[in-house]
Amino acid sequence: MILKVALTGNPNVGKSVIFNALTGSRQHVGNWPGKTVERKSGECTYKGVDMEIVDLPGTYSLTARAIDELIARNFIVEEKPDVVVDIIDASNIERNLYLTLLLLELRREIVVALNMMDVAKDKGYKIDIEKLTQMLGVRIVPTVATKGVGLKELKQAIVEAGKDTLDHEYGRSTHRHIQLSYGEQFEEIISKVSGIIQKDPKLTEKYSHRWLAIRLLEQDEDALEKIKGSSQEQTLLEVIQ
């Protein structure tokens, strides 16, 4: 059994540094967007658990408009990694959390690496990690990747999260996914659309119905493509128009 782990995050958060540290690879680390446009993968073993680590392009969002965002998104949606590691620049936590919220919608097991803690500290930030863990409902590991701080803890968290994924598959999961609410007005429409999606098992088999519903409501081109040929296609198109 090999855990499939995807690394995501905004550009320039130290993703490649973490990838290299986890896999022992020597990928050159750049500090601007576009360095990793094609995914790279490597292997890692921790406490007897083998992992395949895939480094996805760094993105701020997960729309279908830019190719790198679509590559990252499609990997998570289609290939269903067991664990998604979201690397956050702690010194820019506000902007970085946007991607985190989008990732939460994909309903994979997420581990947040709160990286660049040293820079955040220099900036005078104090982050209550326990509270953040509660609010997001995911494992959070503070790291300073360039100095190797927190990497062991990160591997531990990935392995544990992977175990949750497996438990979930066998129906043994006790792990809760926190659902962030968009507010009553939006939630009503979202659940209406996701109700229709759930009528087509072909769709629910592949995609999280809530995620697909939100994307459809956003008129996301790729999502519209995904429902083509579905038994519910017409109904869905009428509702979201």
Partner 1 sequence: MNEDFEVLLTDKRYEMISKIIQATTIKGKRKWTISDMLDKAFLDKYVGMPIFLAMFWAMFTFTYACSVPFMEMINMAFVWLGEQALQIIPNEYLAAFIGEGLIGGIGFVIVFAAPIAFLFLSIALLEDSGYLARAAFVMDRPMYRIGLTGRSFIPMLLGFGCNVPAMMATRSIEDRKDRLLTLIINPFISCSARLPIYILFAAAFFTQYAVSVIWSMYILGIIIAILSALLLRKTLFKGEPAPFILELPIFRRPTLKSAAIHMWDRTSVFVRKVFTYLLVGAVLLWLLSAFPWGAGVENSYVAMIGKAIEPIFRPLGFGWRGSVAFIFGFLAKEVVVETFAILFAVEGEAATAIALRGVMTPLVGYAFMAFSLLYMPCLAVFGVLRKETGSWKWTGFAAIYGLVIAYFVAAVIIAVGTLLGFA
Which distant-in-sequence residues (6+ apart) come within 8 Å of 208 by Cβ?
Answer: 105, 106, 107
Give the nearest distance from C-beta 201 to partner 1 in angstroms. 25
By CB under 8 A, name the binding residues for partner 1.
11-12, 26, 28-35, 37-38, 57, 59, 65-68, 71, 92-94, 97-98, 101-102, 119, 122-129, 131-132, 135-136, 180, 182-183, 186, 189, 214, 217-220, 240-241
When the beta carbons of 27 and 230 are compared against partner 1, the nearer one is: 27
When the beta carbons of 99 and 159 are compared against partner 1, the nearer one is: 99
When the beta carbons of 68 and 164 are compared against partner 1, the nearer one is: 68
Dist. CA 208–CA 28, nearest whole Å: 35
When the beta carbons of 2 and 180 are compared against partner 1, the nearer one is: 180
Give the nearest distance from C-beta 153 to partner 1 in angstroms. 19
Cβ of 81: how many Cβ atoms within 10 Å?
23
Dist. CA 39–CA 159, nearest whole Å: 22
Give the nearest distance from C-beta 47 to partner 1 in angstroms. 28
CA 239 to chain centre: 28
Instruction: Give the angle 191-196-200 at the CA atoms, nearest 5°.
Output: 130
Give the nearest distance from C-beta 142 to partner 1 in angstroms. 13
CA 214 to chain centre: 16
Give the nearest distance from C-beta 20 to partner 1 in angstroms. 9
Dist. CA 58–CA 6, nearest whole Å: 12
